[in-house]
Amino acid sequence: MANRLPAPGISDTRLIIIAALIGAGLLWIGFFISAVPAGSAQHQIGHKAPPFLVSSGDDQTLTVEDLTGKIVLLFYESREAAEKNRSLKNLLNAFYREQAPRLRQNICRVAVINCTAAVWPLQGIWKRELRKNSRQEGLTIYGDWDGRMLSAYGMKGGDSNLLIIDKKGVIRFFRSGAIPPDVIKEIQELLYAIGRE
């Protein structure tokens, strides 16, 4: 008598469906990851800053066009990495305050938080935190809600990223992670050089 496999029961059918859905999900994730540009802002140094649209907790928007004609110090960070470069932020704030009022008008400090994890029901909480932190820092903090800026600039989503963009909208500096002291000196020299251009 030949051994026969039992007909699949309802639980076996469910397992097959679940396995198929997981497989399709993994294919979709693989497709999405391959569709995101693998470049980084490091490769964009010397090129025009890509377009972006970010918005604050008060729904104020900011685009790259709004920054034309200004020297831009832009920190793009995750909430967890916001304190990673605190000493550099303090130094750059001091540099900003040292400038004469007419020069200060040409410098724009921009803070953007990676808000891609803020799913719809939690967006109100994230916006409230952005407003609170904006008051504490003394400047508007914007959110990258859809991840387009993160992708366009090739930044590290879970880290601290610093970009310096000149008055013509050209990226002049990019670095992710904690900035070491020797690079801080390089940043200061670059800012003075851009200011004289």
Per residue in 148-182, pLDDT (tens digit) is: 999 999 999 899 999 999 999 999 999 999 988 88
The per-residue pLDDT for range 48-105, each reduced to its tens digit, is 999 999 999 999 999 999 999 999 999 999 989 888 888 888 888 888 888 888 777 8
pTM, full prediction = 0.75
Asked whether residue 16 falls in the same domain as residue 61, the answer is: no
Residues 111 and 160 in one domain: yes
- Can you tell me the distance from the alpha carbon of 11 to that of 137, in angstroms, rounded to the nearest whole number? 56
**110 and 75 within one domain:** yes
Q: Which domain holds residue 19?
A: 8-37
The reply to whether 177 and 86 lie within a common domain is yes
- The per-residue pLDDT for 131 is 96
DSSP, collapsed to helix, strand or coil, labels residue 68 as coil
The three-point CA angle 90-91-97 to 5° equals 90
Residues 118 and 186 in one domain: yes
**Distance separating alpha carbons of residues 147 and 117, to the nearest angstrom:** 9
Same domain? 124 vs 159: yes
Clarify whether residues 54 and 140 are in a common domain.
yes
The total number of structural domains in the chain stands at 2
pLDDT at 23: 42
Write the CA distances from 167 to 65, 71, 88, 152, integer angstroms: 11, 5, 22, 20
- Exposed/middle/buried for 113, CB within 10 Å: 0-12, 13-18, 19+? buried
Predicted pLDDT at 40: 60
Q: Give mean pLDDT, residues 141-149.
A: 96
117 assigned to some structural domain = yes
Residue 128 has pLDDT above 60, yes or no: yes
pLDDT of residue 93: 82
Helix axes 86-98, 181-196, angle to 10 degrees: 30
Mean pLDDT within 101-124: 88
Tell me: pLDDT of 15 over 70: no
Task: Tell me the residue type at 174.
Answer: F
Within-domain flag for 130: yes
Task: Give the CATH number, domain containing residue 45.
Answer: 3.40.30.10
Report which of residues 47 and 87 the model is more confident about: 47
Per-residue confidence at 21, pLDDT binned at 50, 70, 90?
A: very low
Q: What's the half-sphere exposure (Cβ side, CA atoms, 13 Å) at 44?
A: 22
**b/e per residue 41-77 (b: at least 16 CB within 10 A):** beebeeeebbebbbbbbeeeebebeebeebbbbbbbb
Query: Do 92 and 177 share a domain, yes or no?
Result: yes
Helices (H), the chain: 10-35, 41-44, 86-98, 101-104, 123-137, 148-153, 181-196
Are 31 and 60 in the same domain? Answer: no
Question: Given this model, what pLDDT does residue 30 score?
Answer: 38
Task: Give the containing element (helix H, strand E) for 62.
Answer: strand 61-63
